[in-house]
A and B are shown apart, each in its own frame.
Chain A
Amino acid sequence: MADLDFFIGDEALSRLRSSGLYTLRSPIHNGQVDDWDTMERFWQQCIFNYLRCNPEEHYFLLTDSPVSTPESRECTGEIMFETFNVPGLYISVQSVLSLSAGYAYLKSISDENSDPSSDMTGVVVDIGDGASHIVPVVNGYVIGSSIKSFPLSGSDVTQFVSQLLQERGELVPPEDSLDISRKVKEMYCYTCSDIVKEFKKHDKKPDKYIKHWSAIKPKTGVPYTIDIGYERFLGPEIFFKPEIYSADFATPLPQLIDRCVQSAPIDTRRALYKNIVLSGGSTMFKDFHKRLQSDIKKIVDERVAATNAEHHVEVRPIEVNVVAHPIQSYAVWFGGSVAASNPEFYEYCHTKEEYEEHGASICRTSPVFKGMY
């Protein structure tokens, strides 16, 4: 029965801390599943312990990363159909769901009678804990050839914050270092518009900007306090100046978004600039969207000015719009829930009959990539 003695989620982390009997495994690395045994057990626990449902009687909607391989989708389908006997399965692309979540949210606040399905166009900037992607979507279809990946993600921010704390000599207990940095990141980090000004602000009024974090050392029970200063704005800064964190990669996120749009078909670019949607937990830093918008705007305006000067023409200015909404950290989940409550959802699903007729290869293609792969 040893193979049933395991926990998932928050429960797993608390068990790990309280007893030495367990080891920690993460089936997903950088947004890709690489340990299918653990993943299968994770789903097993999800379905029976948390959702408490009978998988035979429900259609399932799963999401995966826009750059996941067809093989991994096939493997997912195999597990869902063979182990759990689901009647139908739809593997969706996360970015499309976050885009539709953004539309659903805008619609709910404005009450406009615009047709959302005709207008599913935008760039999704999805920064999660393990992977970041920039995905252009036109009328609900992903432009597969223009997807860009950004090598830094939420876990890198955490890593960077903990590195900064250590280098300054804050006495953080080493075993909790990453955990504390993660909490610091979630509670105190924000995006600034100019680093130099921000440094000056901190130096002038340290008591206004420096926060404190108090906790108790888990092993000895001694209370301690650490100061949180420059980390607050330097953490998220790695998206705009990656060279301060890693030497391998120096293209800032706004520039990568611009490149992504530039590589999309020419007739879609204006619409894409107009709707840049954020998604994922690591886009939740305060004022992240404002900084992103102003940086992209700067790049675009420079290019327009250069064109005007070179060809002596007057190009219509390009509208750049970064959309932020309060549900963006759960945008994919929200979009999934919108998609699944749509009555047409069942038509898109791969059914068990299809699986038995054609095999796992039916999961290779997804309707949103139609004609692309």
Chain B
Amino acid sequence: MILLQSPSRFLLQILQDRVLSGEKGMDIDCHTVEFDDVRYHIQFSMRNPKVMVLSVALPLPPPEAILYDGLPLGAIEAIKAAYGPVVQILDPPKDGFDLTMKINLTKLPPDEEQRNAILTQIASVREVVLGAPLKVLLKHLASKTVAPNVDKLVALVHRPNESFFLAPQADKVTIVYPMRFQDSIDIVLATSFLQEFVEARRTAALNNVPSCMWSPAPPLELKGVPADALNANAGFVTFVVYPRHVEGKKLDRTVWNLLTFHAYVSYHVKCSEGFMHTRMRRRVESLIQALDRAKSDAEKLKKLVHGASFNRLSLKNEGN
């Protein structure tokens, strides 16, 4: 798994179980979080076993990001477009949440393939809601226009109290991420990961992908942004997206990948740590072997009383 997938497995599993389980009613009331920024609350009641109430809490917006009634620009329209008659938005949302939806499972299409497609869509509610403004801007890019009444620099929330920035133009959109990490080792790894990431972009096979840059200081696009939105400890990553990257079906994928860029980097930082540990374990193993070889024969033949020889502890690595 190199890229993160957009549907939440948790939501999808609950929905599929419910659709397949027939008429059996059971109360479900559970909370779950995703990447620690989006919070879900799922409710099923006995009386209405085919109606799910899903509440979503979005990450706390930083001051520079603009929200409309607590939701990003165009989110309501995006929900309506994506789900159609299956979903009804409740107003006002539940206490502590930004959006509450009523999902009527009886209105799902009978065809299995279509039904699964729409369930997957519901499970990707994060992409639909948070990605809505990004989608609007990138759609305009696909038709080579600039969305009306949009500022020169748009801030979009993607983590609690953190935002990334978009500078839309008619022929390209520039996207800047200030990268922040907590742990000191993570910061170092993320910095070198991002530098490698930019380096990898330069290989010939990747000529058509959006160009990307990394710099330790805020790039020029971010002039005029308040200083505390810019205190990034792992530098700034800039992507430039051209219309060819958002044509047709590519749009959804681009939106999702841009939206979860931070989670993506943090996932890969953890993966590289895991990889380094594997290497370290192997090194220890080989050093232990070398030490064992250096032992004299007399030492090797330490037997226990009943004849079985004593196996020295070592980090066992079967199957490698």
Instruction: Name A residues whose Cβ lies closer than 8 Å to a Cβ of B.
Output: 1, 3-7, 25, 34-38, 40-41, 44-45, 47-50, 52-58, 71, 75, 79, 82-85
Is there an interface contact between A71 and B313, defined as CB atoms closer than 8 Å? yes
| Interfacial residues of chain B within 240-273, with CB under 8 A of chain A in the complex | 263, 266-267, 270-271, 273
| Distance between Cα atoms of A82 and B278 in the complex (Å) | 13
Between-chain CB contacts (< 8 Å), 17 pairs: A1-B2, A3-B271, A4-B1, A4-B271, A5-B2, A35-B317, A35-B318, A36-B315, A37-B317, A44-B270, A48-B263, A48-B270, A52-B4, A54-B35, A54-B266, A79-B277, A83-B270
Q: How far is the CB of A69 from chain B (nearest CB, A)?
A: 9
Instruction: Give every chain B residue within 8 A of A40 (Cβ-Cβ).
Output: 274, 277-278
| Interfacial residues of chain B within 277-320, with CB under 8 A of chain A in the complex | 277-278, 281, 313, 315-320
| Distance between Cα atoms of A9 and B296 in the complex (Å) | 46
Is there an interface contact between A44 and B271, defined as CB atoms closer than 8 Å? yes
The one of B10, B33, B267, B319 in contact with A48, judged by C-beta atoms closer than 8 angstroms, is: B267
B8 CB within 8 Å of chain A: yes
| Distance between Cα atoms of A41 and B2 in the complex (Å) | 13
Is there an interface contact between B274 and A83, defined as CB atoms closer than 8 Å? yes
The one of B35, B271, B319 in contact with A25, judged by C-beta atoms closer than 8 angstroms, is: B319
Is there an interface contact between B9 and A52, defined as CB atoms closer than 8 Å? yes
Instruction: Give every chain A residue within 8 A of B9 (Cβ-Cβ).
Output: 49-50, 52
Is there an interface contact between B275 and A35, defined as CB atoms closer than 8 Å? no
Instruction: Give every chain B residue within 8 A of A57 (Cβ-Cβ).
Output: 36
Q: How far is the CB of B200 from chain A (nearest CB, A)?
A: 10
The closest CB in chain B to the CB of A47 belongs to B270
Is there an interface contact between B1 and A83, defined as CB atoms closer than 8 Å? no
Instruction: Name B residues whose Cβ lies closer than 8 Å to a Cβ of A.
Output: 1-2, 4-5, 8-10, 33-36, 182-183, 185-186, 263, 266-267, 270-271, 273-275, 277-278, 281, 313, 315-320
Is there an interface contact between B273 and A82, defined as CB atoms closer than 8 Å? yes
Is there an interface contact between A53 and B33, defined as CB atoms closer than 8 Å? yes
Instruction: Give every chain B residue within 8 A of A35 (Cβ-Cβ).
Output: 316-319
Q: How far is the CB of A86 from chain B (nearest CB, A)?
A: 11
Point out which of B1, B34, B316, B320 has the most chain A C-beta atoms below 10 A from its C-beta. Answer: B1
Q: How far is the CB of A51 from chain B (nearest CB, A)?
A: 8
The closest CB in chain A to the CB of B262 belongs to A54
The closest CB in chain B to the CB of A37 belongs to B278
Is there an interface contact between B35 and A41, defined as CB atoms closer than 8 Å? no
Q: How far is the CB of A59 from chain B (nearest CB, A)?
A: 13
Is there an interface contact between B318 and A34, defined as CB atoms closer than 8 Å? yes
Is there an interface contact between A52 and B274, defined as CB atoms closer than 8 Å? no
Is there an interface contact between A49 and B35, defined as CB atoms closer than 8 Å? no
> If the complex has contacts A3-B275, A4-B271, A44-B270, are A49 and B1 also in contact, measured as CB distance less than 8 A?
yes
| Distance between Cα atoms of A54 and B318 in the complex (Å) | 30
Nearest 7 interchain pairs by C-beta:
A54-B36, A83-B273, A37-B278, A52-B34, A40-B274, A48-B267, A57-B36
Is there an interface contact between B183 and A85, defined as CB atoms closer than 8 Å? yes
Is there an interface contact between A55 and B281, defined as CB atoms closer than 8 Å? no
Instruction: Give every chain A residue within 8 A of B271 (Cβ-Cβ).
Output: 3-4, 44
Instruction: Give every chain B residue within 8 A of A44 (Cβ-Cβ).
Output: 270-271, 274
Instruction: Give every chain B residue within 8 A of A41 (Cβ-Cβ).
Output: 274
Q: How far is the CB of A23 from chain B (nearest CB, A)?
A: 9
| Distance between Cα atoms of A5 and B315 in the complex (Å) | 25
